[in-house]
Structure 1
Amino acid sequence: MIDRNNGWAIGENMGENKVFITIDGGSTWITTSTSGIGDIRGWFFMDSDHGWILYSNGTLYRTENRGKNWDADEVPFDMGKLFFINSNGKYEGWVLKEYGPASGNVPVDVYRLINNKWTLIHKGELPNSTSASPNPLPYEGEKKSFIFLPDAKTGFIATERRDPGKSSLYMTTDGGYTWNKKDIPLLSKLNDKYISVYSLKFVDGEIIWPISAFDDVKKDFAILFLVSKDNGNSWGEKTSFIYKNSPRKIYVLDKENWYVLFENQLLKTNNGGHTWKKLNIPQNTFQIQFIDNKIGWALASTSTGTNLFYSENGGYTWDKKF
């Protein structure tokens, strides 16, 4: 959801992947046709008007008027993570091209939109081959988060690996041409833990990065929120807590409001992690989103499909929307 009323959704209708919009907070959804062929492999929605949809045939569709019209471009990638920013009135775009997972590893390249053309700017590492790029993005690990800051130069890729202590963060300061692994002492202290990484969020001059670390001996999870106040150059621990269950999703809204989704339970803080409250949520919820500390939505699986629930009191109660 973009705001209280307007939102986008990707779903299946009669066996076809479709793009939907809502203008009434999710009560009703309207199909917006892209005429795309194939599976939807990636998407990015910047606001109520601007969206991008990537199809498996290597076509990227773009709208600037809430899906009323879509422009199609043939692009040199058919799957990956899209990211766009509005930098001083100019739209900047990147794609982390993915080649598909292989035993938990995902080779990637970075493309950038330059003069309305998608250009390869960084070649990642492939198995059993030597990359021409200096410090290539690794083949090992799943790339879970891909963001750029408003300066259009600083970007991050969070990589999750199945080996204890191997998850990591890569950073660029030249718009994605070169990437270097960040040395984060706090992560080094977790070298015997299985580290899961979540999406980084840039809010009010800070970067907040949630992670969880599983202790195979104690059988519990440390949920940590790392923070950088200098555009990713140094990192510290903002807050942490121990929990017996594995987080399904961690959603950072702003500096103070964070939500950790577990199986049939939601933990939230409205004061940057100083205190947490446990909330009940619709059964089988697999995704949550809040636009402020009151208004939120939850997607839950049912025997007949997926239902959308709505809360206007910070998640204490939920009503079925769709």
Structure 2
Amino acid sequence: MTLSKEPEQNETQENNSSDEPELQPVNNDAVGYTLQNNELHITFNHGSDWIKVPVEKDSLFSGEYTGNRQELIVGSYILTEKKVAFLYSDDTDETNKIVIKYSNDQGETWQKGVVAESFPFMRFRKIAFLNNQFGYVILSGDRTMSQEYSLSFLTHDGGKTWEETSEPGNTRLLVDGGFVDENTGFMSFGTINPEEPDLYVTQDGGNTWSEAVIPIPKKYDKIFVQAELPVKEGDHLAVLVNQGPQGDYKGGKVKGKFISKDNGLMWDFSTEVQSMEVE
């Protein structure tokens, strides 16, 4: 089923006037943003000029998970020289519509693409583009204890229209998800006391999902328990399996690296790798 709507095009940019308080970027990336004055502004020249994004600040933090409201929710936006996009909930008509507001010309014009006409209050949210045309959105919501609803959506026209994929068939809490190409995608489950990785894969653009097989060597049983998002690596795929929130093997500072040569269905242990996320 396709849940899409024609975008609202050519919404004009708004630049902050000189008499407003000086804006300061939250991040140190090439494309900066700020949420000062309860508005979202972006800059492509380190703060010399600012462009107001036509999105209500509260919409950016709507859902079950609202972040700290001082910074955008990780994964909910794209900031590059060629494309900026913001994923948020539009509940103005009481349907809790999920939309993106995006610009391909550094904020000169803005377009709106409807990802889902209706969706439960979001917990996990993520948007990414692999090229100018193909992108994905991963959402979860409607959480009850340790269960929730998870779904992915794809666009093949740069964000104008979106298509809902089939459900993965797993209601555990979503850890992460994404696509490595237009056909191959993954969803990883199990955030609460995981004992083994729970990774699902599609090889047909989300029409069907299968549980990936990740045999854990006995030495690492109940140590490497949570799969991260696989990546392409040469002629194969690689995935890191971390220790989850309670891991203490070698101080919790290592992950298991696994390799797949059949595009994500079967995985074999490769080596331990140092975690760059643990101080």
What range is the shorter-chain TM-score in? 0.5 to 0.7
| Contiguous gaps of at least 5 residues in structure 1 | 124-135, 243-249, 251-259, 266-322
Deviation track 1:288-317 (CA, whole Å, cap 9, x = no partner) reads xxxxxxxxxxxxxxxxxxxxxxxxxxxxxx
Cα distance in 2 for residues equivalent to 1:163 and 1:53: 32
Aligned to 1:82: 127
Higher fraction of strand: 1
Cα distance in 2 for residues equivalent to 1:29 and 1:104: 46
Aligned to 1:48: 81
Structure 2 residue aligned with 1:33, among 32, 48, 52? 52
| Contiguous gaps of at least 5 residues in structure 2 | 1-27, 62-74, 91-97
Aligned-residue Cα RMSD (Å) equals: 3.4
Cα distance in 2 for residues equivalent to 1:186 and 1:94: 30
In structure 2, give the amino acid aligned to 1:261: E
Contact 2:183 2:205 (8 Å CA) reproduced: yes
| Greater relative CO (CA pairs within 8 A, separation 6+) | 2
Alignment of 1:1-322 (within 5 A): 7-9=30-32, 11-16=34-39, 18-23=40-45, 28=47, 31-37=50-56, 38-40=58-60, 43-45=76-78, 47-57=80-90, 58-76=98-116, 79=122, 80-86=125-131, 91-99=133-141, 101-113=143-155, 116-123=160-167, 136-141=168-173, 143-150=174-181, 152-186=182-216, 190-193=220-223, 195-213=225-243, 220-221=251-252, 222-240=254-272, 260-262=276-278, 265=279
Equivalenced residue count is 222
In structure 2, give the amino acid aligned to 1:177: N
Cα distance in 2 for residues equivalent to 1:138 and 1:208: 22
Deviation track 1:71-110 (CA, whole Å, cap 9, x = no partner) reads 1234425643223222xxx612322232154435431122
Aligned to 1:315: none
Q: Name the % identity.
A: 18
In structure 2, give the amino acid aligned to 1:226: F
Cα distance in 2 for residues equivalent to 1:232 and 1:175: 13
Cα distance in 1 for residues equivalent to 2:48 and 2:264: 39
Deviation track 1:188-245 (CA, whole Å, cap 9, x = no partner) reads 8755347244343334444332222268797843422223344224323332158xxx
